[in-house]
Structure 1
């Protein structure tokens, strides 16, 4: 270094460190202000939470208009106490008498992960023994079930973590250009997949005895149906399950931020879920957020803040994941976008509450029994 530059460099370094000091003081002030705000607004001990109801979206307002996933829970569970959540997508609402709280994560992987983590780290809530109930709509494979149905999840498979080659460039012998990370072709190294230890979060096995218990409790629930739903399902002439009446069942869930649709991708979804679960899971429902929710709960579980084995996922079918024989994938997706394909939206939202609330009410009513030991079908 030339000596003539030293005084100037020293002066600039001094200004730089002064700026850092001012920034640190500012951040410290912001942190203290937020902490003081939390303490001022919530001087009492943290709320002991029994059930967290996780919704992903609300259509408009939280009450008084056409309901999204959250509105029925807020009204019927009397979630009237508001907890501001500026570090999340949507404020938390609670019933302090029952110990039930409700949240809206926002749509997609990024928002869901951030929202679950924000709640899990919030000192106003004791979530150490809480049960988590994800209750939201989904697409359904017409080979397995029908619109308006409610499906309890056994496995969640991530549909985003992958390699992809455009369909116009894939080798002729490949069935898809979408294949697992760290492989070189579709569905390589299937024997090496470990359903219970997925280092990158490609697959999550839920607490199966708990899920089976929830199914057993709710399997005879009568669900809504209407003429528009009948007309839509009648188009699926090749599938008896698609033409059946709405029902409660179990199956695997594919979680991906891309809203995919069509017969080809539906085949891929079945193969993808079978690969990551080593054939133990059957693809039934498709949504966006659940792999993110599980990843956040896994980290929070590591910190001792939640128990990830108390998670239940209930997905209710608002639409089919592929077109009927009479339409192309693009034609059917256009119909869905214009509203004709979502004949079951209202029924699916109602089913999420009608089925899910039975589990919530049971946990609240039998808290002394289930607070230490989760209910089980085994």
Structure 2
């Protein structure tokens, strides 16, 4: 026992050492972390989720045990020094997975880039299903006061309002980062612009299914365009909302919290947890928040086409594979995201100390 106690004390103390105190030669080198949110089955050889293209095509052939995660394993490419993981769906799973990763003593992630590449819904007023959208901003769609739809005052646009007040148009706009919670994040504008410029001409799949889906959105010219790479803000929340009225709320919510600067483009669950976790770890010096990117590819429209009800859209897309752009969006996430990941990883001499910016 006398030999064990000092050993335990040494281990315990080591857990509280700052990142700089760890010997770099004991770490697995990571240049880029690819973050996905779900996989439907195995990592290879069956119906894919967000992770499978990265595993098979980048590739990420080496398994690393991750017993404290939703997926159980991470994947690694030792030549590119790219690490990939599946966090689980929802902001809580995302925040837990990212915090666990950053605190894992096997990795030093102080210079690593993080690329969240996942699917999401898209506003037909913004763009088409199958599009790939880099996010300049993440707005929290889950933290709000809410009034039941049957009790909304007639002069309110909807029943959602800032938790800091009692009206939808509370002014001045509360600080995004307040004691009430983080309502929004702006990603490094230079890095986001660089990623967009690097990938803007990537050819995205345009299947017959996508063409048929977007043709139904008569009166929405942006929704009827072929898939392309775009820039637009994402609303993140745990509730899978759907419908024209909720879409109008999301458009208003982004405009409100960005004071007119932002444009609602995509809806997703995990992005707010992603940014909250990484921002906290950045304050501790364990990651660089200026090296974070979010790419959402549109698997479906977030509201029904003319003549369809919100309930009808839900019934149509009641299964993941029922999303009109499910498979093309998975393909687009890898096609676009991998261009950035490979550029960062293969030109590490350029990007290790200097974060890229658009010329």
- 1:319 has 2:291 as partner: no
- Residues in 1 aligned to 2:25 and 2:307: alpha-carbon distance in whole angstroms: 61
> 1:140 aligned to 122, 146, 170, which one?
122
* 2:131 aligned partner: 149
* 1:118 aligned partner: 100
- Residues in 2 aligned to 1:339 and 1:367: alpha-carbon distance in whole angstroms: 37
**Off by >2 Å, runs of 4+ in structure 1:** 191-195, 338-341
> 1:293 offset after TM fit, Å?
0.5
Task: Give the length in aligned residue pairs.
Answer: 341
* 1:304 aligned partner: 285
> 1:82 offset after TM fit, Å?
1.9
> 1:120 offset after TM fit, Å?
0.6
Three-state SS of the structure 2 residue aligned to 1:59 is coil
Taking structure 1 as the reference length, the TM-score comes to 0.86
Taking structure 2 as the reference length, the TM-score comes to 0.91
User: Over residues 269-318 of structure 1, what are the superposed CA-to-partner deviations in whole Å (9 max), with x where a residue is unaligned?
Assistant: 00001111111110000000000000000111011110011001000000
* 1:217 aligned partner: 198
- Residues in 2 aligned to 1:216 and 1:340: alpha-carbon distance in whole angstroms: 31
Three-state SS of the structure 1 residue aligned to 2:317 is helix
> 1:240 aligned to 194, 213, 221, which one?
221
Contact 2:91-2:270 at 8 Å conserved across structures:
yes
Three-state SS of the structure 2 residue aligned to 1:47 is coil
- 1:295 has 2:295 as partner: no
* 1:39 aligned partner: none
Moved more, 74-83 or 206-215: 74-83
- Residues in 2 aligned to 1:168 and 1:326: alpha-carbon distance in whole angstroms: 24
Contact 1:332-1:341 at 8 Å conserved across structures:
no
- 1:63 has 2:50 as partner: no
- Residues in 2 aligned to 1:322 and 1:198: alpha-carbon distance in whole angstroms: 31
Contact 2:164-2:174 at 8 Å conserved across structures:
no
User: Over residues 228-266 of structure 1, what are the superposed CA-to-partner deviations in whole Å (9 max), with x where a residue is unaligned?
Assistant: 111111110011111110000100000000000000000
- 1:163 has 2:145 as partner: yes
User: Over residues 91-129 of structure 1, what are the superposed CA-to-partner deviations in whole Å (9 max), with x where a residue is unaligned?
Assistant: 211112211000111000111110000001001011010
Contact 1:69-1:136 at 8 Å conserved across structures:
yes
> 1:194 offset after TM fit, Å?
4.0
- 1:188 has 2:166 as partner: no
- Residues in 2 aligned to 1:295 and 1:115: alpha-carbon distance in whole angstroms: 12
> 1:54 aligned to 30, 35, 59, which one?
35
Three-state SS of the structure 1 residue aligned to 2:329 is helix
Three-state SS of the structure 2 residue aligned to 1:375 is coil
Contact 1:58-1:69 at 8 Å conserved across structures:
yes
Three-state SS of the structure 2 residue aligned to 1:48 is coil
Contact 1:319-1:341 at 8 Å conserved across structures:
no
Moved more, 71-80 or 279-288: 71-80
Three-state SS of the structure 2 residue aligned to 1:54 is strand
- Residues in 2 aligned to 1:122 and 1:339: alpha-carbon distance in whole angstroms: 32
- 1:252 has 2:233 as partner: yes
User: Over residues 68-104 of structure 1, what are the superposed CA-to-partner deviations in whole Å (9 max), with x where a residue is unaligned?
Assistant: 1001111122222222112222221111221100011
Three-state SS of the structure 2 residue aligned to 1:126 is coil
Contact 2:29-2:108 at 8 Å conserved across structures:
yes
- 1:130 has 2:112 as partner: yes
* 1:176 aligned partner: 158
RMSD over equivalenced CA pairs, Å: 2.0
Moved more, 223-232 or 292-301: 223-232
